[in-house]
Amino acid sequence: MPKLNKFNIEIETGKTGTDLPVHFTINNHKLPLEDIQGGVGPSETFCGGFEIRSFAHSLTLVGPESGRWDIQKMKVDYDCEHTPPYSVVFGAVTLDETTEVNIWQDPPLPTWDV
């Protein structure tokens, strides 16, 4: 598991949105996203990030305190130590007050033609 320096997330909300602020958890510590742009209302796009500089045993996006949040797509850009930057696109998911969604993916494995 590499050290996660920073991550940025772009969230496309579907039909049901929620309210700001958007929180995430890093190793079960709940924090608001920083450098935010856009919104999380219906069909809106939101961007935010956080400078972690630690090892991500778990990284999740927290659901709203009440109601539902339909997420259509999430793109997460990871900046990890000793690893080229990489991105992962997650598909649709619905969050509520009882859920959080995993947004951590290990760096891709090296692959080459033989």
Partner 1 sequence: MSVLKKLSQMFSGSTLQQKEAGDATAEVKVPSDSPNAFAEEPPVHRRVIQAPVIVAEAEANVPSDQILIKAEPSRDNEQCKFMVNRPLFEGHSWLFSNFEEAAGSPLAESVFSVDSVETLLIHDSTAVVTKTGAKGLSDWEKLAKEVGGVLRKTLEAGTDLVSKDIIAQIPSEQVVKEEIQKVIDTEVNPGVAGHGGKITLTAITGNTVTIEMGGGCQGCSAADLTLKQGIHSAFRKAVPYIGAIYDETDHAAGSNPYYR
- Distances 33 to 21, 22, 83, 111 between C-alpha atoms, Å: 8, 6, 23, 33
Both tokens of residue 94?
A: 């619905």
Q: Which is nearer to partner 1, 31 or 89 (CB)?
A: 89
Beta strand 45-55 with 3-13: parallel, antiparallel or unpaired? antiparallel
Q: How far apart are CA 7 and CA 93, in angstroms?
A: 20
Compose the 35-74 pattern: x for residues touching partner 1 by CB under 8 A, - for all others. Answer: ----------------------xx-x-xx-------x-xx
Between 49 and 56, name the residue whose CB sits nearer to partner 1: 56
By C-beta, is 5 or 99 nearer to partner 1? 99
Strands 45-55 vs 59-62: parallel, antiparallel or unpaired: unpaired
- Does 111 help bind partner 1 (rule: CB under 8 A)? yes
By CB under 8 A, tell whether 98 contacts partner 1: yes
Binding site for partner 1 (CB under 8 A): 28, 57-58, 60, 62-63, 71, 73-74, 88-93, 95, 97-106, 109-114
